[in-house]
């Protein structure tokens, strides 16, 4: 009787465990089944962040139990300030609103200012896609003027003047005597590419391999320098910015400030959920991300979008890099403020009268 009772208890426990596991699986399926996930995008349509969002929104739901529908909603402005402020204020931590963000938002956060009402150090990270580093290009007909102080300055164009690749143009002007001036206010990548083709701007950067190849093919630009520590395998002849600097590379606070501005490019395009999203939901999203990046069709499409140098990080690795990229001392922040002010770029602060 004792033995039979023990066996009955064990069988009951096993059965209960099976039921609980089945219930948990059904709960995961039920949670997203019939629902819609909104993917907010921190840039306008047509750019690298938008392309990443649309690629991920096509594939990720296939690996989420319940296969939810997705809606992509662009909210550009302020180097990610507009969408991040909205997201922090309005997005519920339920896994149904995600944000496809970019390294510009991290630079914006470090730059600070009264308009910044978000903290990327608190988000729940799902994963990130790195495209291999931004390549700074210059129009062929403007290249000689870049190193001629007597010539008309080469015009650098940007949407907000704070993207990570812009740091190369600023440090290039300060330490390599590049002959630059900056204009910003373009709505997005499409407008900047058109302005570059038309000669309205003469220097611009992106990590999008297809855009770079198209501009090269049409004889518009010369790729000049790369914003990573190692050369891209799909553009092996393009030197890194550190290579270009050589013995003129600054040290101390000046270089720390450059790394804080440009460093978030290593994170590049990242997907996250709001602070406080339940662990069970994050586990589902992390699992879906892991399955997505191994999918052969996703890999093929990603290579079409980003070139051969793209790679991914999981949520934990992305979160770690975000924390590292946004950890700046006040001395570094002050240096960033001064160098941006010196070159007429946004500082995030109002000038004292």
Annotated domain spans of the chain: 29-131+267-325, 135-263+330-342
Q: How many CB atoms lie within 10 A of CB 273?
A: 26
29-131+267-325 CATH: 3.40.190.150
Strands 36-41 and 69-74 turn out to be parallel
Domains 29-131+267-325 and 135-263+330-342 in one fold:
yes
**What is the predicted pLDDT for the residue at 161?**
87
**Collapsed DSSP state (helix, strand, coil) of residue 35:** coil
pTM score: 0.75
- Both structure tokens of 105: 């938002």
Question: In which element (H, E) is residue 19 found?
Answer: helix 2-32
135-263+330-342 CATH: 3.40.190.10
Q: What is the chain's length?
A: 353
**In the chain, which residues have pLDDT < 50?**
1-3, 6-27, 353
Backbone angles phi, psi at 309, to 5 degrees: -90, 0
């Amino acid at each position: 009787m004792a033995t039979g009772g023990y066996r009955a208890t064990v069988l009951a426990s096993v059965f209960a465990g099976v039921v609980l596991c089945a219930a948990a699986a059904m709960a995961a399926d039920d949670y997203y089944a019939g629902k819609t996930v909104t993917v907010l995008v921190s840039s306008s349509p047509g750019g690298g962040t938008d392309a990443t969002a649309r690629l991920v929104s096509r594939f990720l739901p296939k690996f989420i139990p319940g296969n939810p529908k997705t809606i992509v909603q662009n909210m550009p402005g302020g180097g990610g300030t507009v969408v991040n402020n909205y997201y922090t204020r309005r997005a519920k931590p339920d896994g149904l609103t995600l944000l496809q963000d970019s390294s510009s938002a991290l630079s914006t956060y470090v730059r600070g200012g009264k308009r910044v009402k978000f903290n990327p150090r608190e988000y729940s990270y799902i994963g990130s896609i790195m495209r291999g580093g931004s390549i700074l290009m210059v129009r062929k007909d403007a290249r000689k003027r870049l190193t001629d102080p007597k010539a008309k300055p080469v015009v650098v164009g940007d949407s907000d003047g704070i993207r990570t690749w812009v740091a190369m143009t600023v440090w290039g002007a300060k330490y390599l005597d590049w002959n630059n001036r900056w204009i910003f206010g373009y709505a997005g990548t499409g407008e900047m590419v058109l302005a570059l083709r038309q000669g309205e701007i003469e220097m611009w950067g992106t990590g999008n391999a297809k855009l770079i190849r198209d501009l090269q093919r049409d004889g518009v630009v010369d790729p000049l320098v790369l914003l990573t520590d190692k050369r891209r395998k799909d553009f092996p002849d393009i030197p890194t910015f550190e290579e270009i600097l050589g013995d003129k590379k600054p040290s101390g606070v000046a270089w720390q400030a450059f790394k804080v501005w440009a460093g978030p490019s290593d994170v590049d395009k990242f997907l996250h959920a709001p602070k406080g999203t339940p662990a069970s939901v994050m586990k589902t999203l992390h699992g879906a991300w892991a399955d997505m990046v191994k999918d052969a069709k996703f890999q093929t499409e990603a290579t079409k979008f980003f070139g051969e140098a793209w790679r991914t990080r999981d949520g934990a690795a992305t979160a770690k890099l975000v924390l590292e990229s946004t950890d700046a001392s006040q001395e570094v922040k002050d240096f960033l403020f001064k160098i941006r002010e010196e070159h007429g770029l946004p500082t995030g602060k109002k000038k004292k009268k």
